[in-house]
A and B are shown apart, each in its own frame.
Chain A
C-alpha cells in the first residue's frame, strides 16, 4: 500500500541552525502539506502546496519557513534559523486530486525536531 515517507525520523539541531525536513508523498498525489505538533498538543497546519506553489499557509509559516519540491518525488520543509519553540513533530501529508474517492490527507510518520 502506498504511503508517505519522511526523513529523518529524528533531527537534533542547535538554535540558529538551518534544517531541512524531507518527505516523499504518495506518487499520484498532487497536494502536499506540512503540519506540526508540539508535544502533547494538537496538530497545527503550516502550509499546503499544489502545482509547484504554496496554495495556503498559516500564521505560523513565517519568513523562516520555506517549502520546495526539488524534483518529481521529494517535498521539503526548510527552517532557516531554528528557535527553541520550533521543537515539535513535523508531519508531511499528501492528498489525491479532486475526483478521487476522498480528499483524505494521508500522513507520514513524522520527523521529531529537537532544537537545543
Chain B
C-alpha cells in the first residue's frame, strides 16, 4: 500500500523567511503533484513532477523530485502572507487513470 507522508503538518513562519516542506512516499513512483488548498476551497494544482531530478519554480515556490530517495520538497522563498494555505503532495503509480494518494497536508501560516 502506498503511503505518503508530509512534514511538517503545521508551519508558522514570518514573512520574508525561507522554509521547506517535505513529502516522502513509500513505493517507487516518478509522478508527484503539489496542490494548494485554501480553507473551504478546492485543490489548485501547483506543480507536476514527472521524472527524477525534476525541478519546477513558480514565483516564491520551487518543487523538486528525487525518485531514488522517494522524496519531494516544496521550498518557499521569502514567504508572503498570501502563501498561507494548506499544501498537499500526491503520488500516483502509473499512467492516466490512476488514483492519487495524498499526504496529510501542511498547513502553512505566514505571519506579518
* A interface residue numbers (CB < 8 A to B): 30-31, 33, 35, 41-45, 48, 50, 55-56, 58, 91, 95-98, 102-110
B88 at the A interface (CB under 8 A) = yes
- Of the candidate stretches B13-21, B57-65, B73-81, B89-97, the one touching chain A is B89-97
Given A102-B48, A104-B33, A104-B48, does the pair A45, B99 have CB atoms closer than 8 Å?
yes
Counting chain B residues whose Cβ lies within 8 A of the other chain, the interface size class is 20 to 34
Inside 8 A of B105's CB, which chain A residues have their CB?
Answer: 42
Q: Name B residues whose Cβ lies closer than 8 Å to a Cβ of A.
A: 31, 33, 35, 41-43, 45, 48, 50, 88, 90, 92, 95-105
| Contact A95-B42, Cβ < 8 Å, known A43-B88, A102-B48, A103-B31 | no
**Which residues of chain A have C-beta atoms less than 8 A from B42's C-beta?**
91, 107-110
Q: Is the pair B48, A55 in contact by a Cβ cutoff of 8 Å?
A: no
Partner of A104, one of B45, B95, B99: B45
Q: A48-B99, A102-B50, A109-B42 are in contact. List 9 more A-B contacts (CB 8 A).
A: A33-B99, A33-B100, A42-B103, A43-B88, A56-B97, A97-B96, A103-B92, A104-B48, A108-B42
The 8 A-B pairs with the shortest beta carbon distances in the complex, nearest first, are A45-B99, A98-B96, A107-B43, A43-B102, A102-B48, A31-B97, A109-B42, A42-B102
Q: Provided the pairs A42-B103, A103-B92 are in contact, do residues A48 and B41 lie with their beta carbons within 8 angstroms?
A: no
What is the minimal beta-carbon distance from B56 to any residue of chain A, in angstroms? 11
The reply to whether B33 and A44 contact each other, CB–CB distance below 8 Å, is: no
Smallest Cβ distance from B36 to chain A, in angstroms? 11
Q: What are 30 inter-chain pairs, A to B, with CB distance below 8 A?
A: A30-B96, A31-B97, A33-B99, A35-B100, A41-B104, A42-B102, A42-B103, A42-B104, A43-B90, A43-B100, A44-B102, A45-B100, A48-B99, A50-B97, A56-B97, A58-B99, A95-B96, A95-B97, A97-B96, A98-B95, A98-B96, A102-B50, A103-B95, A103-B96, A104-B33, A104-B48, A107-B43, A107-B45, A108-B42, A109-B42
